[in-house]
Amino acid sequence: MNIHQVGRSVIVLAAGGVIYAVFTVVPPVEGLGNLVRIAFFHIPVAWVSVLAFLVSAVAAALYLKTRKMTYDAVSACSAKLGLGFCLLATVSGAVFAKLTWGAYWNWDPRQTTIFILLLIYGAYLALRSTIEEEEKRAVIAAVYALLSFITVPFLVFVIPRMYPSLHPEPVLNGAGHLEMEPVMLVVLAAAVIVCSLIYGELLSQGIAKVNSRQKELKL
Amino acid sequence: MAVPGLRFDQALQAILIKDLRCEFRSRYATGTLVMFALTTLASVSMATAGTGLTPEFAAALLWVVLFFCAMAGLARVFVQEQEIGTLLGLRLYASGQAVFCGKSLFNLLLLLGLAVLVVPLFVVFFNLEIGNWLLFSLTLVLGCIGMAVVATIMAVMVMAAQSKQAIFTVITFPILLPQFLSGVQAVSQVLAGNEPDGLVFMAGYDIAVIAAGLLLFDYLWND
């Protein structure tokens, strides 16, 4: 059993533990009941989708600076994973919205932002798939990742001014819908960490796969 | 790399004049683009004929028409150079920044020309009352600057891609969204007779994409 397998089994065990805690340790919340358990899935995946976006942009900048194909692989893999996590966050959020507020979708600021994040990831990956030359693809995709990263702060400013929001304040709030008890905070933190670890593991696997394929091509 | 003797402003001017002259000769924009604009405008107008439009709705339709006109025409600045094989020449004569600025300016002129055509027709078809023309025009100009600049950067990206036109729209939209949304909001405020409050924001977006373009364009241009 090598170090990777140990790491993987630790992550699987931790994920099992968190899931167990979410269903047993976390108490039902007044007004939301058992639905609050969705948040323990929704918040971590939403966090990871933003993290993946950040990693993708940083890797893009590093690629432009160093021209090492590894960074391009990091950027692409991170974007792919980000798209997946972003979809999970969107769907879980929509289900939660339907069950608590009565509609799957109402262009709430956060729904709009996450939808745009989906669009950006989708456009980035579509752009990559249409360019055949590897070096060119890497450069163009990197510039696109950086450009879309520049526009995100604008979205954060413009969208909340346009639509009223029902979404609770980000993660840690004292007074909103989700009264966070210490137990819940601990479980949530654990869930976020485990989710980030899953992302990290999937990312390193993806990069390793790309690298080995490139080695095969060179041989 | 720039040829010695051809300064930045000279190169910019030369590119702009060359593109205007090509446009004048081929009349691509005046033919295809104007007809495209009229088609979208007519389809939108006919589909909503007889329904009283709220300011928000009218503003959204106006920006949708302008956006798709931009998507139909603005990728051409580089795709055309590629098709007729003049890219290398352009690369030899002018620096990336000069090309970026020249092409952006040309796109901006094209877009403003389209807006000058589309907006009066829009006002006529939809029976709109525009209280403050100055603020209305300022909003449109700020929006067009953002669109032209982003479209220029995206146009040089799609040169290497297959199915250029489709991917051009797909990759431009998410980047333009902040400008698009605040443009819709500002125009609807003007149409409702209020002062738009997002103009500083739109100007800030324009400055940000121009700066990003100047910084990143060389990566796309010199490879």
Judged by CB atoms closer than 8 Å, whether chains meet at A159 and B171 is answered as no
**Which region among A159-163, B25-29, B106-110, B175-179 has the lowest average model confidence (pLDDT)?**
A159-163
Rounded-to-integer distance, Cα B145 and Cα A90, Å: 32
Q: Does A60 touch chain B (CB under 8 A)?
A: no
Q: What is the mean predicted confidence (pLDDT) over B115-121?
A: 91
Strand partners, A131: B161
DSSP annotation string for A103-125: -S----HHHHHHHHHHHHHHHHH
**A11 lies in a domain?**
no
Residue B157 Cα, gap to closest chain A Cα (Å): 6
Q: What is residue A172's predicted lDDT score, i.e. its pLDDT?
A: 44
Split at pLDDT 50, 70, 90, the class of A176 is: very low
Closest Cβ–Cβ partner in B174, B182, B209 for A116: B174
Residues of chain A with Cβ-Cβ distance to B170 below 8 Å are 122-123, 126-127
Q: Distance between CA A95 and CA A88 in Å, rounded?
A: 11
Mutation target to probe the A interface, by most A beta carbons within 10 A, among B149, B216, B222 is: B216
User: Taking CA atoms, what residue in A is nearest to B199?
Assistant: A158
pLDDT of residue A168: 64
Of B167, B170, B205, the CB nearest to A154: B205
C-beta atoms of A64 and B219 within 8 A: yes
What's the rounded Cα separation, in Å, for the pair A47 and A59? 18
CB atoms within 10 A of CB B30: 14
Q: Are B177 and A133 in contact (CB < 8 Å)? A: no
Q: How many CB pairs under 8 A join A and B?
A: 89
Chain segment A63-89, per-residue pLDDT in tens = 999 999 899 999 999 999 999 999 999
Which chain A residue's Cα is nearest to B163?
A130
Determine, for residues A154 and B208 on separate chains, whether the beta-carbon distance falls below 8 Å. yes
Mean pLDDT of B52-59: 84
Average pLDDT, integer, range A53-62: 93
Question: A217 and chain B: CB distance < 8 Å anywhere?
Answer: no
Domain annotation covers residue A29? no
A213 located within any domain: yes
Residue with tokens 């995100």: A152
* Number of separate domains in chain A: 1
Instruction: Please state, in angstroms and as integers, the Cα–Cα distance from residue B172 to each residue in A38, A144, A206, B4, B147, following that order.
Output: 34, 10, 28, 35, 9
In a domain, A150, yes or no: yes
A34 closest CA partner among A43, A44, A26: A26
How sure is the predictor about A160, in pLDDT bands with cuts at 50, 70 and 90?
low
Which residue in the block uniquely carries the two structure tokens 């890497």?
A138
Contacts of residue A212, Cβ cutoff 8 Å, sequence gap at least 6: none
Residue tagged 């639905």 (tokens): A35
Q: What is the mean pLDDT of chain B?
A: 87
End-to-end CA distance of chain B: give it in Å, rounded: 12
Of all residues in chain A, the one with the smallest CA distance to B155 is A140
Identify the domain containing residue A59 by its residue range: 38-170+179-218
With both helix axes pointing from N to C terminus, report the angle between B55-73 and B34-47 in degrees, rounded to the nearest 10: 150
Give ipTM to 2 decimals.
0.87
Q: Do A119 and B201 touch (CB under 8 A)?
A: no
Chain B residue at shortest CA distance from A126: B167
